[in-house]
Amino acid sequence: MSAVSYQLGPHHDGSELYVPRATPRLGDVVPVRVRVPADYPETAVWLRAVRDGEPRLSAARLESADEHERWYVADLLIHNPVVSYRFLLDVPGGYRWLTGRGVVDRDVPDAADFRLTVHEPAPAWMDDAVVYQVFPDRFARSDEDHGPLPEWALPADWSDEPIAAGPGVAQQFYGGDLPGVEQHLDHLERLGVDTLYLTPIFPARSNHRYDASTFDEVDPLLGGDEALASLSSAVHARGLRIMGDFTTNHTGDGHEWFRRAQADPTSVEHDFYYWTPGEPGYVGWLEHSSLPKLNYNAPALAGRMVAGPDSVIGRWLAQPFGIDGWRIDVANMTGRYAADDFTHEIARTIRATMRDLNPEAVLVSEHFHDAASDLAQGGWHVNMNYSAFTRPAWTWLAEPGTAASFMGLPVPVPHLPGPAMVATMREFDATVPWAVTRHQWNMLGSHDTARLRTVVGTPAMQEVSAGLLLTYPGTPVLFAGDEGGLTGVNGEHARVPMPWDDIEDGGPRWDAATFEVYRALIALRRSSRALRDGGLRWVVVEDDGVAYLRETADERVLVVLARASWSGAVLPRHLADHEPEVLYGARALRVDDDGIALPGDGPGVGVWRLA
């Protein structure tokens, strides 16, 4: 197979090369730039911006040019809280639009236009964050005695296989606790992560604890309030951060509010829920009677849940707990039922509460699908990025015929070519502002999905997957155990206890080589500002190999990912102003007058600093 030569097209994104980093205010005029290759046939470039619902056109000015490319700049008035814009390129015989999905030669909807917003982005510490998700029941258990087990719990040995489906899934109880997490913080530091995200820690009647029975205390089975305060203190003493998980959409049917509501129809709490004439007499999340849905028409509910320092949101941000933010479970359904839609109001209220108590706290929504309409409203900072990252990545990386379930769909995980993955990523990324994209929580698995190793099948393909995760725009999130190649066919089966004996002694349940891959890639990300904060230019998109540039004002990094052997590619010579420096992978790039030759072997990952 012979290498294919690639030429770059017109490009714009929201990174610092194209848009000033500062968050604009209403009335500001922001310079926005677009780069066009020298051999592109445009005769003029125009900015099309939507103001008060009406598109306006203004001419872009040629700012600079050399033998390789031309740079244009236009003035964008921030007249509305969210301003959408695109570029019009005048070419012989027609025109081209440049939107977040790339260059097209026809009219397209505004959904993929670029966006600037006056809403503050996620706090600056998220620029560098690498998040580590822990499911408390399965991470580590200490020797502390937390009292007798509740009736619902089915005790399991630490080496038992998790139940994948059917009876006992939610009741299988391993006994991991918060002191156990604290005792293993060295593992997080060795790996290089800096943010610990805990799934729910409130008392409940399940191992996942999304069916809380109270929000007023930490589950005694996890060590209680003192254990959380101690863990938070230990985390912060190491310069790390800690985040909680809270369900604003529902409580458990054993929750003290719900019990009061059922017992007394005249109680304040009775208005906190939706009631129906048929069985079970109330609305449950996705018809699960164990999870009664909260009704934000109730005047007092916001004060209990999300508004002010005495709310659930506020209390756990305060000392001695001092968590650094919240991930909100099923955020997309919170406040939505039939004709009711309070979602954006609730999100903004949570953010205001957090801002007053800790301006550095981050607010992350869970939304498995298209979250665009919820992410530019001044509420959720970012989303768990299943739609724009996890799902398309799986379709390219998955081993054909994998037994892994495809995130709720009744079909196998497809095995799609590179162009399908990239088109999906671009389509979803294009619907939110870059200020959101650069902090989105990107994952290759979570407590709600199959394990990555089960999806991709081999250590080599997991390395390719980790290479994508840790070089792509956004915040990388790892599910505890993925760094050691743990397996599981679905979300429940994936909640595997961490095999600490094997981790420490080199046993068969832990892939130490994969741990070193993650460790090296996390360190690489930390060493490169372009990988943490740069723009994104796709430069090669083939069935089995893809490549992109991450660029800041002071650095250009090339990432090449291959799931199998492919034809290789040749990029324009001017992209490298010195001999490419190998940052990851052992292979040097060949550079000559013909261009930069990318290797066609695979599976594998290569990362080079070009300029």
| Cβ neighbour number for residue 73 with a 10 Å cutoff | 17
Same domain for 211 and 274? no
Same domain for 182 and 63? no
Residue 388 lies in a domain: no
Structure tokens at 320: 């001695």
Give the closest residue to 193 by CA, choosing from 573, 456, 482. 482
Residues of the chain with pLDDT under 50: 1
Tokens 């600056």, located at residue: 124
Q: How far is CA 461 from the centre of its chain?
A: 21
**Distance between CA atoms of residues 284 and 302, nearest Å:** 19
> CATH number of the domain that 602 lies in?
2.60.40.1180
Burial label, 103 (beta-carbon count in 10 A; 0-12, 13-18, 19+): middle
pLDDT confidence of residue 439: 97
CA separation, residue 467 to residues 10, 248, 356, 421, 603 (Å):
26, 34, 38, 15, 11
Same domain for 592 and 572? yes
Query: 209 and 222 in contact (C-beta within 8 Å)?
Result: no
Residue 201 lies in a domain: yes
**Distance between CA atoms of residues 611 and 606, nearest Å:** 16
Q: How far apart are the first and last CA of the chain?
A: 29
Structure tokens at 472: 């792509």
Same domain for 63 and 49? yes
> CATH number of the domain that 80 lies in?
2.60.40.10
Give the closest residue to 78 by CA, choosing from 122, 115, 30, 126. 30
Same domain for 221 and 301? yes
Element (H, E) at 37: strand 29-37
Domain that holds residue 537: 531-609
| Cβ neighbour number for residue 23 with a 10 Å cutoff | 14
Tell me the β-bridge partners of 337.
340
Residue 124 lies in a domain: no
> CATH number of the domain that 508 lies in?
3.20.20.80
Residue 232 lies in a domain: yes
Q: Can you count the helices (H) and strands (E) in the chain? A: 16, 32
Same domain for 164 and 235? yes
Same domain for 148 and 179? yes
Query: 314 and 308 in contact (C-beta within 8 Å)?
Result: yes
Query: 178 and 234 in contact (C-beta within 8 Å)?
Result: no
Same domain for 546 and 576? yes
Q: Which stretches of 249-403 are DSSP H helices? A: 256-263, 301-305, 312-315, 343-357, 391-397
Same domain for 205 and 95? no
Same domain for 504 and 364? yes
Structure tokens at 428: 């979803």
Render 349-402 in DSSP notation, one character per residue.
HHHHHHHHH-TT-EEEE--SS--GGGSSSSS-SEEB-IIIIIHHHHHHHSPTT-
Among 117, 140, 172, give the residue marking a domain's end: 117
Q: Peptide bond before 419: cis, by omega within 30 degrees of 0?
A: no
pTM: 0.97
Among 530, 550, 577, give the residue marking a domain's end: 530
| Cβ neighbour number for residue 139 with a 10 Å cutoff | 26
Residue 598 lies in a domain: yes
Element (H, E) at 45: strand 44-51
Residue 395 lies in a domain: no
Q: How many domains does the chain have?
A: 4
Residue 389 lies in a domain: no
Same domain for 493 and 590? no
Same domain for 85 and 207? no
Structure tokens at 150: 């509740």
> CATH number of the domain that 259 lies in?
3.90.400.10
Give the closest residue to 480 by CA, choosing from 507, 455, 503, 508. 503
**Distance between CA atoms of residues 228 and 201, nearest Å:** 9
Structure tokens at 356: 């007053």
Among 293, 327, 355, give the residue marking a domain's end: 293
Residue 404 lies in a domain: no
HEC-encoded secondary structure of 413-461: CCCCCHHHHHHHHHHHHCCCCHHHHCCCEEECCCCCCCCHHHHHCCHHH
What dihedral angle (degrees, nearest 10) is formed by the CA atoms of 461, 465, 471, 477?
-150
Render 233-261 in DSSP notation, one character per residue.
HHHHHTT-EEEEEEESSB--TT-HHHHHH
Give the closest residue to 498 by CA, choosing from 132, 135, 131. 135
